[in-house]
Amino acid sequence: MAEPQQQPLPMDLQQAACSGPLKKRPRQTDAPVASTPHNIKFQDLVLFILEKKMGTTRRTFLMELARRKGFRVENELSDSVTHIVAENNSGSDVLEWLQVQKIKASSQLELLDVSWLIECMGAGKPVEMTGKHQLVVERGFSASPDPGHQMTLPLPVKKISPYSCQRRTTLNNQNQIFTDAFEVLAEDCEFRENEMSYLVFARAASVLKSLPFTIISVKETEGIPWLQGKARCVIEEIIEDGESSEVNAVLNNERYKSFKLFTSIFGVGLKTSEKWFRMGFRTLSQIQSNKSLKFTHMQKAGFLYYEDLVSRVARAEAEAVSLLVQEAVWAFLPDAIITMTGGFRRGKNVGHDVDFLITSPESTEDEEQLLPKVINLWEKEGLLLYCDLVESTFEKFRIPSRNVDTLDHFQKCFLILKLPYERVDSAKSSQQEGKTWKAIRVDLVMCPYQCYAFALLGWTGSRQFERDIRRYASHERKMILDNHALYDKTERMFLPAESEEEIFAHLGLDYIEPWERNA
């Protein structure tokens, strides 16, 4: 889909968007010029434009322009002001200025960059305030203009969404001591199939990963979603004692340790783990030496290549696998689009497996037979160690599933490939001395071109991000989203999308890059 050409801003807004103060024109008279009265269209917004680092001339120009567009702009800061607009200032700079003026900042006061006001004027109405507009206040910021006047300003100024699809979460986790603890507790709840408790800890870990500062006091968790109740108690204990007694109890629990070990085997899930635990098994050698147990084809492969599969896949190895996939797929379908998804698309340098999404702009018989042909090729080349091909059950006009964890209906194959170390950059691979290859878990997913954007969003992850964006679609937009489509329940229609950006736009969300979805 061709992108619409961006319309140039009107000349007055081009002038407003220019950084730096406007050049002063020679004044015709020293008499003050009265502001022309304008019709106020947006009564709920009261703006104050900060002169600091902007200059008098540019401030006057912006005030007059905003008033002409229907905004209420105050000459002086008063209690009625709801939004302070600044240029080239941080949130801390603005709050420090307020303190010097001996004005107490309200937690309801929005501190915004001038770019927000310019976008509002361009749209002719107030636009949504996003992270790029809101001025950042340094954690723990406080200032004292004089010894007798001490005021700590309310933090955080910026509200944090309960949905991870409205937060930007990079790999720069500043609260790992807490998130590691919550992930252990969440995993234990998952092993016990306690969904509600799992979500409590998973959401707490997710929101902590998105914070741009390290929590050093339990008071800093106030107002942050998902950090109340049990989660808050865990944080408080870690701050006071350096560790959580509950987490330590889980890590030393025999059931948790056994489930952690058993589920590390390819092909072993919770039901099999429960069965083995009840039978008294605690080690892999006990299981493998038991003659009465019968293993699936997948589990046999899991035991056979266990050491390789349980080790992490390095990015260099993932890139080498990507070349193998490209060579094989393009040999049969030259116009195929191949995208590495999962954690590697989100910027991670290690992972447990490598996932690929494959599609083609032209739907042909070659596309339907592609995966079997690729599998046969790798088998002939001696690279195929294990394969499970799942045929497509996709229906074009099926209403999306309400189950956020449902598997999609595309054709896919779950593989173990033999990756020759000669194909990997030796300086970056995790090869063992004496070995010439490594077993790597690889998933290939073949989807119709009209579903590609939805499948790409779903297979990129993270797991919590996918949960939240589907929950947001359902609870906030009355839509159903899955790996196949987006359905508007109000309009009773499917909403097409050729890119992830279009899906976010349908949902009324700011686009979040893959590397910011590590929730």
Catalytically active residues are: 353, 355, 443
Using alpha carbons, select from 317, 295, 297 the residue that is nearest to residue 308.
Answer: 317
For residue 199, the one-letter residue type is L
- Tokens for 214, please give them: 């390290």
CA gap 366, 333 in Å, rounded? 7
C-alpha 275/C-alpha 290 separation (Å) is: 14
CA-to-CA distance for 71 and 45, rounded, in angstroms?
A: 7
DSSP string computed for 121-179: HHHTSPPPP-TTTBPP--TT-EEEEETTEEEEPPS--S---SSGGGS-B-S--TTHHHH
Dist CA 196 CA 247 (whole Å): 18
231-234 contacts at long range (C-beta below 8 A, 24 or more positions apart): 231/182, 231/200, 231/201, 231/204, 234/178, 234/181, 234/182, 234/185, 234/204
**What is the amino acid identity at position 281?**
F
Sort strands 486-488 and 479-481 into parallel, antiparallel or unpaired.
Answer: antiparallel
| Residue positions counted in the chain | 519
All residues at 6 or more sequence positions from 3 whose CB lies less than 8 Å from its CB, including other chains: none
